[in-house]
Amino acid sequence: SSVLLAAYLALSLLWSKPLYDEEVHSLIGNGLLSALFIMALVICLVRFTHFQVWLIEAIVLAACLSGAGYLITAIFLDETVTEATIGRWLSPSVGAIGFGFAAVLAINLTLGRINRRFKVFWACASTLLVIACVHMNIDYVSFALLASVTALSLGRLWRVRDFGRALIWIGLCFILIVVSILVLNLVIESGRQMIWTSVLDLIYDERIAFGYGIRSQPEFHVDCGLELVAAAVDCAWRHPHNLYVSTMFYGGIVGIGALILLMISSISVTLESHHPSRWLTLSLLTYGFAVLMFDGNRLISKIDFIWLVFWLPVAYAAFLELDEKLKDNELDVSVRPTRDPKIEPA
C-alpha cells in the first residue's frame, strides 16, 4: 500500500502545472527511492539477524553525538542549531524532530531487553536526547514525543500481570495522557489551523477529487495578526505545515484516503503482531503520525526527516506483517527470518 501511495503521488505529475521541467525527473526518482527504501529495509530486517539492533543503536549513537555537540555549543557558545560547529541541523524544527525520533529509540532500548547490560547507558542517552529535543523549544515535537512515550507506556501496561506494577504503569499513563493533552492544547492555540483552513478552502473550491498534483507550487495567505505568521513574508506560506493537508492538496480525496488507509493498516498490523518489536514500531508510528500533523510537505521527496519519521516506521510495520505471514506459512519457508536472541519482549 505504501508503494501504491507513492506511485499515485508520482502519477499526479500528469495534472500538475507546469508539467515539464527539471523537477519532473527528480520527483519520479524520489518516488522510486521511497519505495525501494521500504523494500530494502524489510528485506534487511528479514534476512539479517542483528540488523534491527544495529540500525537502532547506530541512529541513537549518531544522534547522541549530534545532541551533545549541539547542547555544548548552544549553552557555552550561544550558537543556534543551524550555526553550530558540531551537531548542525537544517533548521531547529528538523533538529528537534531528529532528536525526538532518536529519543524514542533510546527509550525503547532502555525499557526493552535489548542489550540489558547497557540499560544505564541507554537511559543516559535517552535523557540527553530528550534534553536536546526540548531545548529546541518546538512545541509540536514535544507533543509527539509525549504521545509516543504514552503509547509505549500503554503497551507496557498491556503486558504487565503483576497488580502492583500495573498500578504504577496506570498512574504513569494517566499523567502522560494529561500532559500530552495540555501540550497539544498549547500547540493548537498557536494558530496553525488558520494555515490549514486557507488550504482546505482552496481544495474544496477547485480540485477536491485528485488535487493539484505533486509539482504544484502553492502559496497560502493567512491573517497577518497571528503570532505564528508574523515572521512570514507577506503573511504567505509555501506549504500548510501539515502532511495530511498537504497530501490532500497534492492528491485530493484519493491521496488523503490512501494515506489514511496506509496509516490504519500500519497500526492494525502492529497491534495484531506478536513480534517482540511491535511496541517499538507502535511508538515510532505514533511519533511520526503526531509530528506530521504539524510539519511536512511532500511524502515523496529527497532524503529528509520524512524518510525517518514516516517511511521507516511504515517499513517496520510491513516487516511485522511479513513476519506474521511467515509464521502462518503463507509464504515460502526459504525466506523465513531468524529471530534475534537479543530482541525479547520486555
DSSP secondary structure letters along 292-337: TTTS---SS-SSSHHIIIIIHHHHHHHHHHHHHHHHTT-S-GGGPP
Q: How many percent of the chain have pLDDT more than 70?
A: 79
DSSP state of 212: S
Question: How far apart are alpha carbons 328 and 181 in whole angstroms?
Answer: 40
CB environment 285-322: b (16+ within 10 A), e (fewer): bbbbbbbbbbbbbbbbbeeebbbbbbbbbbbbbbbbbb
Least confident of 111-125, 265-279, 307-321: 111-125
pLDDT-derived band of residue 156, with 50, 70 and 90 as boundaries?
A: confident
Q: What is the pLDDT of residue 18?
A: 59
3-state helix, strand, coil in the chain (%, to 5): 70, 0, 30
Q: Which carries the bigger pLDDT value, residue 218 or residue 234? A: 218
Q: Tell me the longest C-alpha to C-alpha distance in the chain.
A: 65
Q: How many percent of the chain have pLDDT more than 90?
A: 23
How much is the pTM?
0.84
Looking at every residue in the chain, the average pLDDT score rounds to: 79
Specify the amino acid at residue 276. P
Asked if residue 80 lies in contact with residue 92, where contact means CB atoms within 8 angstroms, the answer is yes
CB environment 162-185: b (16+ within 10 A), e (fewer): eeeeeeebeebbeebeeebeebbe
Element (H, E) at 220: strand 220-221
120: CB partners within 8 A, 6+ apart: none
pLDDT digit string, tens, across residues 276-300:
888 999 999 999 999 998 888 888 8
Q: Which of 336, 329, 343, 314 is nearest to 34 (CA)?
A: 314
Q: Is the pLDDT of residue 66 over 60?
A: yes
Question: How far apart are alpha carbons 298 and 213 in whole angstroms?
Answer: 11
| 291: phi then psi, degrees, rounded to nearest 5 | -60, -40
| Number of other residues whose CB lies within 10 A of the CB of residue 341 | 8
Question: How far apart are alpha carbons 189 and 17 in whole angstroms?
Answer: 35
pLDDT-derived band of residue 145, with 50, 70 and 90 as boundaries?
A: very high
Q: Is the pLDDT of residue 217 over 50?
A: yes
Over residues 302-329, mean pLDDT: 86
Q: Which of 176, 67, 58 is nearest to 126 (CA)?
A: 67
Q: What is the pLDDT of residue 328?
A: 66
pLDDT-derived band of residue 208, with 50, 70 and 90 as boundaries?
A: confident
Question: How far apart are alpha carbons 214 and 210 in whole angstroms?
Answer: 10
